[in-house]
Structure 1
């Protein structure tokens, strides 16, 4: 099995805006998503941001361990288990977890302070035939583009 790992270098939009943009695309593709962060306050904030997207455009989500975790289209968790059967994971805190390689696709967000760790991970993945790694950067208009 090949896992695709998309690296997203945060430069314009903060984490919460980027998570909302990517989560919307995942749901539009008919997929479920696991959003991973070790920071409980960040998970709570991301949940609120997803719910407050406006009108019918809100992004339904729930917390891992909640009563309806298996039914959530977006599940926020501190770990990499996906009781909602998500095949895609978004790592919001920038800290890689090896268990993420069990997903079909992983979106890894990282900021300037995590750049060296992301570069090291990139080099490791580039040598691994079971990983399809790609880099995504924002242009001056805030749109994400794949490429170096």
Structure 2
């Protein structure tokens, strides 16, 4: 059973934090799906990943290509065809509790400087933890990532 990790971005922007998390996920041997709510945001993420340092390039694709199943990182607005072990949801993209249980990890990244994004993430935390999903809340407000809260997974009796 996987867990949901909530990343409250207050210092570094998404385009800085996401590649770090993607790299760590690939190092763990996971295929990754990055879910955004719109095609425009996927295009923006794709561009930002291409702009990264050449020696840190993260091979990826946008869903809808003929090689989706082979992508180590697949950018999508829906379910991913690359059989991911990790899902990274950005900009309030929805995550179903069942998805979390079927994956090694789900990362929910949200802009801590946007009150509506914070409210949406709080709602996601409540929905997932009430469904029994284990969750951890990470904040970077001190200048380094620290776990600030944890809700253990609940098992059915």
Note whether the superposition's TM-score is higher than 0.5: yes
The question of whether the paired residues in 1 share the 8 Å contact of 2:91 and 2:117 is answered with: no
Q: Is the 8 A contact 2:35 2:93 kept in 1?
A: no
Provide, for residues 59-112 of structure 1, a one-character-per-residue CA deviation record: whole Å limited to 9, x for no partner: 110011112111111000010x22111110000122323263342311011223
Return closer, same or farther for 1:115/1:71 CA change in 2, 3 Å cut-off.
same
- Kindly tell me: are residues 38 and 123 of structure 1, through their superposed partners in 2, closer, same or farther at Cα, counting changes over 3 Å? closer
Give the one of 73, 92, 95 matched to 1:94.
Answer: 92
Does 1:109 find its partner at 2:134? Answer: no
Q: Give the TM-score normalised by structure 1.
A: 0.85
**CA shift in 2, pair 1:22/1:47, >3 Å:** same
Q: CA RMSD in A?
A: 1.8
Indicate how the Cα distance of structure 1 residues 50 and 124 shifts in structure 2: closer, same or farther if over 3 A, else same.
same
Distance in 2 (alpha carbons) for counterparts of 1:146 and 1:7: 9
8 A Cα contact 1:39 1:93, kept in partner: no
CA contact (8 A) 1:61 1:73 kept: yes
